[in-house]
Amino acid sequence: MALQFYNTATRSKEPFTLPEGVPAVRIYCCGPTVYHFAHIGNLRTYIFEDFLRRTLEYYGFAVNHVVNITDVGHLTSDGDDGDDKMEKGALRTGKTVWEVADYYTQTFMKDWKALNIIEPSIWCKATDHIQQQIQLVKTLEEKGYTYRTSDGIYFDSAKFPRYPDFAHLDVENLQQGSRIEMGEKRSATDFALWKFSPKDQKRAMEWDSPWGIGFPGWHIECSAMAMHHLGETLDIHCGGSDHIRVHHTNEIAQSECATGKPFARFWMHGEFLRMGSDKMSKSAGEFLTVSLLQEKGFNPLDYRLFALTSHYRNYLNFTWEALENARESLKSLHKKTDVLIGKADLIQSELALRFKNEFQEAIGDDLNMPKALGILNSMLKENLEESEKAALVLDFDRVLGLNLGSIREEYAPKQENVDVFKIDALISLRNEARKNKNWAESDRIRDELKSMNITIKDGPNGTEWSL
């Protein structure tokens, strides 16, 4: 029952343990840049990190989980010609950059809640840690890892020979095919630690520093905040797979040069959600958000279950059909578990303990959630005492986070102009016809309701309708 995770640093699965004397797992997860809504692809990564956290807790570890909110507008390129994402967001919405950051931070946290992602121990904002970032750059400068150009202070990657190792970079060929603008950089892999504000204009966000007025570079915030809140070495550092080559490589370089210690023991990366050929993903402003799914009648947890059906290191293809699958799947899961609510008791039979054990092994094997789901389903089919089933459902749901311990919340598609009065009238007309065995009339009324998108079902307690 050894807990093991795939470590990007070694490209292999390794047993996870905590070093002597460390009371809680120190996890840092790269969070969002709050200049726009998070789309469900972004959210997939946070769901993966949530499984990770819950799995660690299931295994009895205390967890110190830090997630950053990037509210500094970094430029979109290394030169001076890129746009600032935050300022772009401000322009788009007609708000100040601070309002933009605040607004999208709030909606982001709402999404977390809707997806039943456990809040991190600490949310940290980049703008609240400018001094720590400046301090880190100063340390790097003192140790001789930096150089100055006309537009900023840069990290000299040539001084860190291990630079290419983490991402298996082929630095020679990187330059050949890159689209990186060199500017005054000495090497394509050098990166800005501190950027100067343009002399002729005032930026919406800028700070004083030993090098003049400006703003922090792209990567420094994560190193500064992670070390500020968790210490110089982390146990696990997570992010999306796109971070491996640039962001995390640079974080390692600057952090390890500053401290002389390993920055993180484990690196874990979530793979992307794909949108297939669906156009809506790419076209600006049309990407899929949690609230859009809700408008279409999905419970956010339907999406959580969808994310649960594939392994975090594999691509997941998003299609509406697949989401509907997940919704049906969650519904039928609830059918089986809702009747168990309140019946939980001890897990003690040999069979029940075996299920618990299998479940624990699945999640502990690099978060094999699809397998864990399969175990839940098999368990529900098995001939077990209801009290044990109920207990196992609650136990598993500590990790799955599907709220199987409470009744499912339905999300009806948004539909204006539903005339409840008329529907009720039609239904009683139909029931009158049925009483008289006038089947033709009752079927006609049902068709009429159907044309209004109303589905009815005749149950023992009368007729129910739904959209």
Q: Minimal distance in Å, beta carbon 45 to RNA?
A: 4
Closest to RNA by CB, 74 or 265: 74
Question: Burial of 460 by CB count in 10 Å (0-12 exposed, 13-18 middle, 19+ buried)?
Answer: exposed
Give the CA distances from residue 84 to residues 33, 324, 349, 426, in Å, rounded to whole numbers and listed in that order: 12, 38, 60, 58
Give the span between the Cα atoms of 458 and 456, in whole angstroms: 7
Closest to RNA by CB, 22 or 203: 203
CB 182 within 8 A of CB 188: yes
Q: Minimal distance in Å, beta carbon 391 to RNA?
A: 20
Q: Minimal distance in Å, beta carbon 217 to RNA?
A: 9
Q: Minimal distance in Å, beta carbon 438 to RNA?
A: 9
Give the CA distances from residue 38 to residues 78, 100, 108, 380, 441, in Å, rounded to whole numbers and listed in that order: 24, 13, 6, 35, 50
Give the span between the Cα atoms of 191 and 146, in whole angstroms: 10
Give the span between the Cα atoms of 15 and 364, in whole angstroms: 10
Closest to RNA by CB, 35 or 196: 35
Q: Minimal distance in Å, beta carbon 179 to RNA?
A: 5
Q: Minimal distance in Å, beta carbon 20 to RNA?
A: 28
CB 445 within 8 A of CB 426: yes
Token pair for 49 = 């990190």
Closest to RNA by CB, 140 or 239: 239
Q: Minimal distance in Å, beta carbon 134 to RNA?
A: 19
Closest to RNA by CB, 286 or 328: 328
Q: Residue written as tokens 């049906």?
A: 328
Measured between alpha carbons, how far apart are the two ends of the chain, in Å? 47
Q: Minimal distance in Å, beta carbon 306 to RNA?
A: 7
Closest to RNA by CB, 44 or 125: 44
Q: Minimal distance in Å, beta carbon 421 to RNA?
A: 21
Give the CA distances from residue 42 to residues 199, 282, 370, in Å, rounded to whole numbers and listed in that order: 36, 14, 20
Which long-range contacts does 291-297 make (Cβ < 8 Å, 24+ apart)?
293/40, 293/323, 294/114, 294/411, 295/413, 295/414, 296/413, 297/411, 297/412, 297/413, 297/414, 297/467
Closest to RNA by CB, 106 or 178: 178
Token pair for 135 = 């301090």
Closest to RNA by CB, 9 or 38: 38
Closest to RNA by CB, 113 or 261: 113
Torsion of CA 384, 389, 391, 393, to 10 degrees: 150
